[in-house]
Structures are given as C-alpha cells and as structure tokens.
C-alpha cells in the first residue's frame, strides 16, 4: 500500500492527542476488504485487541462508528465500514495524494541532495 | 513552531530507515538560532547526547555535514549550519507548507466530520 521511496508519511492531527495516520487508514481499508476486524488486524501483524482498540479510538474521534460490527452469529460476527468510515478512509488517502503530489519537486530535490553521497 | 489544529505531521522517508521529520528540522533551526547543539537540544527538552546523535544521523543521511561544530575553544565550542544544513531545513519546511496547503480543503472537510460529534 506504500509508494516507493522517497515518500511522505503523513499523520493528520485533529488535536494534540487525536490523529489519523496510515496505520488507521490501512486498518479501515483491510476491514472493508476482509469483513473482519480480527482478520484485518492479522494482515497488519496486529493483535485482535490492538485492532479493536484502534477501531474504538476512531469511533470515539469521530463521535460515531466508522466500523459496524456484529459479535457472534453464524459466522462469528463480522464487520464492515459505515458510510462515515468509508469517507474518512477515502479522504485520508486524498490528503496523502494531494500532499505528496504538491511536495514532489521539493521531495525529489531533497532526495537528490542525500543521494549524492 | 507548529500550526494550530487540524494540522499535518509529516515525515520524509528517503528509504526504510532514513527519514527527516519536524524534530530534526526543529533541531537544525535551533542550532542556527543558538549556535550550539547542546543549547538547541536543551530547548527541545533533549539530552546533549541525543541532540548529537540526531546531528550525526543527519550528517550520515546526507553523506556530508549539515552541522559544523568546533569542540572546545574560548567559548567551549559552538556550532552552525553548513550551506547543506540550511538548504535541507528550508526544503523540509517548503515540503510541509506545500503539502499542507494542497491538502487543506480535504483536511478541513475531514476535521468537520470529526467536530460534528
């Protein structure tokens, strides 16, 4: 899910303690893909507990669920992104793209200064 | 040195293990301002050893010194940015500015989604 180097890693701080970064965006996208919080976490090498905590952090940040989950049931539950969750992930990716494209000439210039060694 | 929220925190990865972020940029700017690696580190709440390590990491990343320092002497040494160091710090700030400006509409939209709670 990452561009080749040199590349920006970007975190959006909504306030001092609440931010959205590539890890949370990856998790949302993997939940959409796998239909499961635990499967998404596993794909990121993350414990079930950590994946759940990140989802709860996100839900709390936005004051509404980004992920809807059903515990139990025939398939042992399942999860999907809400409309809000889909929009948050998409907007974060657009922020990454807009930022990287705008900064690309300076990024390449700075990288060239490092590569001269 | 930071914009109000919401704001981006941005790290430029030149490769998997070498990146330039706001901490290293702040340190360079404070060395330029104070003329001293230890004073710059102190302003950031950083140990002398950590400030020196960051400077050495930067010098290693770019294969040439970003900071020139004189140990000892009448004033107990002193440090200043080389032309390379000045340019690297300035370019990093331009990357931050270009990235933030380009992403601003999406940042504001995402922030508004969180603020509705």
Tens digit of each residue's pLDDT, chain A (117 residues): 567 899 999 999 999 999 999 999 999 999 999 999 999 999 999 999 999 999 999 999 999 999 998 765 555 569 999 999 999 999 999 999 999 999 999 999 999 999 765
State residue A113's pLDDT score: 92
- Inter-chain contact A102–B99, Cβ cutoff 8 Å? yes
| Gap between the Cα atoms of A71 and B55, Å rounded | 51
The answer for residues whose C-beta is within 8 angstroms of residue B74's C-beta and 6 or more apart is none
Residue in chain A lying closest to B114 (CA): A62
Q: Are A88 and B113 in contact (CB under 8 A)?
A: yes
Q: Which two tokens stand for residue B17?
A: 């293990």
Count CB atoms within 10 A of the CB of residue A113.
Answer: 19
Selection from B106, B19, B12 nearest residue A12 by Cα: B106
List the single residue in B11, B98, B103 with the smallest CB-CB distance to A9. B11
Cβ neighbours of B117 (radius 10 Å): 9
Let me know how long chain B is. 117
Q: Give me the half-sphere count of Cα atoms (radius 13 Å) on the Cβ side of residue B87.
A: 14
Q: So what's the ipTM on this one?
A: 0.88
Which of A8, A109, A114 has its CB closest to that of B61?
A114
Give the separation between CA B87 and CA B80, rounded to whole angstroms: 13
- By CA distance, what is B14's nearest residue in A? A6
Q: How far is B41 from chain A (nearest CA, A)?
A: 22
B1 SS3 class = coil
| Minimum Cα–Cα distance from A62: chain B residue | B114
Interval B71-101: pLDDT, tens: 655 555 699 999 999 999 999 999 999 999 9
- Note whether A51 and A41 are within 8 A (CB): yes
Closest CB to A6: pick one of B7, B14, B88.
Answer: B14
């Amino acid at each position: 899910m990452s561009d080749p180097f040199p590349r920006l890693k970007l975190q959006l701080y909504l306030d001092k303690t609440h931010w959205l970064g590539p890890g949370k965006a990856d998790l949302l996208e993997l939940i959409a893909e796998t239909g499961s919080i635990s499967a998404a976490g596993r794909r990121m090498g993350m414990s079930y507990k950590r994946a759940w905590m990140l989802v709860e952090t996100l839900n709390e940040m936005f004051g509404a669920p980004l992920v809807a989950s059903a515990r139990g049931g025939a398939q042992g539950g399942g999860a999907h992104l809400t409309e809000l969750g889909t929009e948050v992930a998409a907007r974060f990716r657009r922020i990454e793209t807009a930022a990287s494209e705008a900064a690309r000439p300076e990024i390449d210039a700075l990288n060239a200064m490092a590569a001269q060694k």
